[in-house]
Each structure stands twice: as C-alpha cells, then as structure tokens.
Structure 1
Amino acid sequence: MTGVRQPVFLDVDTGVDDAMALVYLFGSAEAELVGIASTAGNVPVRQVCRNNLALLELCGITDVPVSMGSENPLQTPLRTAEDTHGPYGLGHARLPAPTTSLTPYDAAEAWVRAAHAHPGELIGVATGPLTNLALALRADPTLPRLLRRLVIMGGAFDYRGNTTPVAEWNVSVDPESAAEVFAAWDSEVGHLPIVLGLNLTENIAMTPQLLGRLAAAAGSSWTPMSVDDDRGAASAASNPLIRVLEDAMRFYFEFHHDQGEGYLAHLHDPLAAAVALDTGLVRSRPAPVGVELTGTLTRGMTIADWSRRWGREPNALIGVDVDPAAFFDRFISRVGAFAKQLDHS
C-alpha cells in the first residue's frame, strides 16, 4: 500500500451483500469513496437510497454523496428480490430513517461528474443492474476513457444462472443496459472491465463460523449462529455494526438454506469491492462478451466467446479463479477493524 487513496465510485442496489461491499470499502484505508449511485434492483430505488444513507449514518460517514438512479430498467418493468434480501433489502436488519439528503442530480450524472473530477484515476464498481451506468454512457460516451478501472458483478459464464436457468440476477433485471455497457468498451479504451460472474462469486461463501471470526475481530460479543436457530432471531452482538451485519446475514443464510445450498451466503458484491482495490485477488481471462436480449429461454444470458467464433476483440476480463480464504482473511481484517474503531469512536 502506497498511502495514496484511490477514488472509488460505487453503483449498488443495496441489498445484503451490497451492504457488505460498502462496509468493506469503508474499512479500506486505500479507498476514497467519492460517490454512491443507487440503482433499482434488489429493492426499489427509493429504498436503496434509504439503505445507503442509513448505512453511511450508522458508520459515521458524512462526506459521501448518494444519488438516486432510474426507478426502472431501460426497457422492461422492474423486478425486485425481497425474497432474497428481505422486505427492505437488509434482511432482518432495521436501520433508523436517515436524516441526510440525496444529491440534487441523478445517479447517471453522478457517474459522469465523478469521472470528470478524477480523470484517469476513478475506479468504478457496479454491483447491481447496469441501468445507471448505461444512462451515464449515453450522456457521455467518453466515460470509459476517463475511468482507471471498472469492476462489474454480473453474469454467469459457462455456469448456471440464479434467476433463470442461464441468467444471473443483475443482468436479468436489465439486460439492455448490460449490453450497452459491454458494447462501450473496446481495445482503444486502454482497459477492459473486470467482470465477476456467478461462476466466480459463488466460491465466496460466508458461513456462521466466518461471521463469528468477524465478530471476534471487531472485539464484539456474539452468539454462534445455527440452522437450528429460530427464524429471524435478533443478533445479540455488542458492536452496533456487527449487530446489523449479523441480522442482515441471517436472512441471507435462511434464503440460501431454503434454496438447498446450505446455511451459508454467497458474498458476490464484497468480492467486487475487493477486486476493485486489488485486481490480483482473482485470475481473469479476456474474451468478447455478449448479452442475449431476445431468446425465449435465454434472455439475460451472458456469453463469452472464448474461441473467438464471432471475430470480435475482447471487451471484458472475465474472472475465472479466486482464493476464497485469501478474500475472507482480508474482509474480516478490514471490516472487523472498522467495526471495532466505530464502536470506540
């Protein structure tokens, strides 16, 4: 670490794992979070805005602007995922209503403003549907050249979907926006977006044991979680941030258990936040990527043309390998220390 803070702009549809991604960035000394775009996805966009503002207040962060994005995808009605993330997006956690306000400009403009304020330096991270980013690219097609790096959590490459048999949630909600974003990148931009699909992120499985390690790193009291616990049992952690994260994660554990995946939770979005700061956490392969928009059974599917059948140049770096233990060591260290410092501030 050089001591130089890297400007980061985060586009989220908060969301349990989006909240964990936010907290990871709060706890990363090398990250300067310069803006948050709220996108409709896991819950409607106004609830996403409330979640983002409330998390900032909980964590004592007062200088990060939050902007509201479009209420709907580019062409289709919005679908939300309260079954996965709870009625308000943060699982069983409930945060006080925020007292702070949104920016007077929308999320697409927030992208453009941040990129122009930090030309060649800004790291963009998108962990929800890509509606805001697509609208930003329409407003300013030079945006890719202004970014230093873009990390996208989305898609599934040579892997099953989690929304349809072949489509991942973020892309499935707004496939047109994903197609526009991928089309905006080419070899002349100077960098390719790093795309972390389900084939990679489902290796990042949070468990009650790992959550216990996080509580211990924060110096918090905690009670081990179990599949035998009452549904919605409230966290008894002494640390206020750990308490919220445990209440959020319990809902996520319950959802994954009901899906037959075990009493665990996939932390898709925190991996994207971590890779944004350190690309060495994953191994990636370049490929041309397309998004299926018209298939009766395959709409929202992301296709990597590994063998270059299309004759196109790569427009993405696709994550293909990750060390979950290395990720969790870093996540627990950073978020634990941040929660501990928050409790004593």
Structure 2
Amino acid sequence: MAKKLVIIDTDCGIDDAQAILIALAAPNIEVVGVTCVFGNAAVDYVCQNVLRVLSICEREEIPVFRGCGGPLVGANNLLATDHFGTDGLGDVIKDRDPQWEQKIQREHAANAMIRLVTENQNQVSLVALGPLTNLALAIRLDPSFPQKLKDLFIMGGNMEGIGNVTLCAEFNFAMDPEAAYIVYEEYLCPTYVATWEFACRNALPWDFLEELISQDTPAARFMKMITSKCQAFSREAMRKKRDVYFGSGFVSYDAYAMAACVDGSVVTERIECPVRVELQGSMSRAMMVLDRTNQLKKSHSVFVFTKCDVAKFGQLLMESVRQPLKK
C-alpha cells in the first residue's frame, strides 16, 4: 500500500516533538518535509528542535524549512516561555549543534509547502501544529494551494470559548489570529481540527507519562529529558491551570492531531459545521466560533473532533518512542 504523504508544520515544542515521533514511527506515513514557524519558541530554536528530533530517530534525510518568525500583523509578544521553556524543549539541552543552520534548506517554508504539494497534487496531508502563519502566507503566494492538498489537520483553537493564554483563546490561534482567520475562511480542502478542549477532555493518566518515558530507547530517553523540568508536564503546576477546567491528566496536545492523521479511527466523535475565528473582541479575539445553526451562511464546513479512542491514542504514543526503528 502506498504511504500517505505528510508535511508537518510545527512550532516544535515538547508536544510537537511527540507528534513528530508519532509520524516517524507510523509505517503508513512518509514525511516529505517539516516546515517551521514561531510559536512555542523563536523560529531558530524551532528549527534546531526539529533537527534534534530527526537526528534522534536517525531520519536526517527529511528536509527542514525555516518559515515565519512572527505573525502576519503586529508584533509577536505572546511567546509562552513558562510553558515549554525559552527554547521550546524545557531548557535542558546543553549540547546544541553549532552547524544546525547549514542543515536547514534555503527555501522558505511557505514556498516549500507550495512546491511539495504541487509536485504531489491531492496526495499530501498537511498537519499544522503551531500558529497558522506559514499556511496563510502560502495561500497568499498561491491561492490555488489548498485545493491541491489531500486534507488539512490542525491542532489549535477552541470550541467553547475556554482559553489557555487569554480568557477565550487557545495559544496557537492567539499567536496569529489573522492567519487562523485566513485559513478557516479560504482553505476549502477537507479540514480536521483537534481543539484545546478536545485534547484536554481526552487526557491520559499521569502514570501513563511515567510509563511512556521510562522505556529504554533513545526517543523515550529524549522525551524524559525534555519533560523533566517543564511546567506543562508537571502534575502540580497543572492543578492551578488546566485542571480547573478539565480535571487531572497528561495531555500531549499536538499528538492528537497527528494521531488523527495517522489513524482516523482514533477519533470516535466529531462535529461537522462552519467555523470562524473572531478578530475584534476585547476578550474573545482569536476565539474559534462554531456555527452549529448556519447563521454565517458559509459554504465550507470543517470537522471538529470531540471524542477519541484514548486506548488507541495511547498505543500510538507508546509506539512513537520506540525509535530509532530497526532497519
């Protein structure tokens, strides 16, 4: 069976690293490129983080492209250094590669997306794990880009107005609300959304994380290192944040979108409806609004996930850290 071609657009924090591991471990997936965007860290750190994950999995042949370093409009003043650390991977990596920049492709991420998808029309799944800036830029450079995609998977946004960086907005969308707005208005390809609430409501037990990172493999040891001092993977820190809304549990946000791309049966319930990203509200800017009653009169609907097979999802996570794969 032919492998599914995938481009991963990422702001590579710890959960992005976990998502990339899922894709690299999946026998039915061929990652044709990784495009980098600001978000969990500055874009140069993101590039280095992606290279590190690929190196650990012995997959350095996959090309990595540097993309946008800030939002389409205005200044970038929301970097969440308290969540995944300044570098996106928990600020625990000491031996950074001084030659990393030479390993990044010269082509801009948006141009690379357009080229790779044009060369493989209607065959490429795009998995967007960070702010949607590169995607918005791609459609401005080539308005026909989305119709050449097979489908689009997004981790971001929310469905009930519960925010994690502002009162009503999820982090990825809050980093570049205009980009999120453009993608949901103009990407008419099949689109699947793993929202913040979806991830949090389908959490795994904290004991699962301990089991996950205790395996004796290079990838598991890497995940153990980068989660060791990170607030986002601290049961105590989350009691005052996420647990207020959703109760206790381990959540690897971006992994949910990637799991859905790898194996659609992971998602067991979803809503199909039009959505729009709010740009104006003083408290609700960047909030994703679901139009369940068709008041917006939009022609395009998206699939918003609501429930997943947590056992199947957990199995994908377990398999993801058993890398590098034996040749």
TM normalised by structure 2 equals 0.90
For residues 36 and 95 of structure 1, the distance between their equivalents in structure 2, rounded to whole angstroms, comes to 23
Deviation at 1:268, TM superposition (A): 1.1
Percent identity of paired positions between Structure 1 and Structure 2 = 29
Secondary structure at 2:55's aligned position in 1? Answer: helix
Asked whether the equivalents of residues 287 and 313 of structure 1 are also in contact (C-alpha less than 8 Å), the reply is no
Is 2:219–2:323's contact at 8 Å kept on the other side of the alignment? Answer: no
| Cα distance in 1, alignment partners of residues 94 and 109 from structure 2 | 23
Which of 246, 265, 270 is matched with 2:250 structurally? 265
1:235 alignment counterpart: none
RMSD: 2.0
Query: Which residue type is aligned with residue 116 of structure 1?
Result: T
Tell me if the contact between 1:92 and 1:247 (Cα under 8 Å) persists in the aligned partners. no
How far did 1:256 drift? 2.5
CA distance in 1, matches of 2:94, 2:270: 37
Matching of residue 249 in structure 1 with residue 234 in structure 2: no
Count of aligned pairs: 315
Larger mean CA deviation between 240-249 and 300-309 belongs to 240-249
Q: Any conservation in 1 of the 2:161–2:287 contact (CA below 8 Å)? A: no
What residue in structure 2 maps to residue 278 of structure 1? 263
Q: Does 1:85 align with 2:63?
A: no
The counterpart of 1:291, out of the listed 264, 277, 282, is: 277
Q: Residue type matched to 2:52 in 1?
A: A
- The residue aligned with 1:156 is 158
Query: How far apart are 1:258 and its partner, in Å?
Result: 5.1
Identify if the C-alpha distance between structure 1 residues 260 and 13 changes in structure 2 by more than 3 Å, giving closer, same or farther.
closer
CA distance in 1, matches of 2:89, 2:254: 14
Q: Write the deviation string for residues 140-186 of structure 1: whole angstroms up to 9, x where unpaired.
A: 11111111111001110024111111110000110000111111134
Is the 2:194–2:305 Cα contact (8 Å) retained in structure 1?
Answer: yes
SS class of match (1:152) = strand
CA distance in 2, matches of 1:302, 1:167: 8
Partner of 1:136: 138
Q: Could you tell me which residue of structure 2 aligns to residue 209 of structure 1?
A: 207
C-alpha change, 1:17 and 1:265, in structure 2 (3 Å) is: same
Q: 2:167 aligns to what? A: 165
- Worse-superposed segment, 112-121 or 207-216: 207-216
Report the equivalent of 1:327: 313
SS at match of 1:242: helix
Normalising by structure 1, we get a TM-score of 0.86
For residues 47 and 39 of structure 1, the distance between their equivalents in structure 2, rounded to whole angstroms, comes to: 10
Structure-1 separation of matches of 2:212 and 2:273: 36
Matched, 1:338 2:323: yes
Q: What's 2:107 paired with?
A: 105
- In the alignment, structure 1 segments of 5+ residues that lack a partner are 221-238
Find the aligned partners of 1:201 and 1:287 in 2 and give their Cα distance: 19
- Say if 2:6 and 2:31, in contact at 8 Å, map to a contact too: yes
Runs of 4+ in 1 over 4 A off after TM superposition: none
2:44 maps to what in 1? 46
The residue identity in structure 2 corresponding to 1:288 is: P
Q: Which letter does structure 1 place at the counterpart of 2:301?
A: N
Residues 203, 324 of structure 1: 8 Å contact kept:
no
Q: CA deviation at 1:260?
A: 6.1
1:234 alignment partner in structure 2 = none
Query: Which one is further off, 139-148 or 257-266?
Result: 257-266
1:195 maps to amino acid: V
SS of equivalent to 1:317: strand
Q: Shift of residue 93 of structure 1?
A: 3.8
| SS of alignment partner, residue 322 of structure 2 | helix
Structure 1 residue 208: Cα displacement: 4.1
Structure 2 unaligned spans of 5+: none
Partner of 1:146 in structure 2? 148
Cα distance in 2, alignment partners of residues 271 and 122 from structure 1: 19
User: Which residue identity lines up with residue 91 of structure 1 in the other structure?
Assistant: G
Q: How far, CA to CA, are the matches of 1:170 and 1:112 in structure 2?
A: 22
* 1:233 aligned residue: none
The Cα of 1:330 is off from its aligned counterpart by: 2.4
Which residue of the other structure, out of 201, 216, 240, is the alignment partner of 2:218? 240
* Letter aligned with residue 259 of structure 1: K
CA deviations 1:302-333 (Å, max 9, x no partner) are 1010011122223311112212222112221x
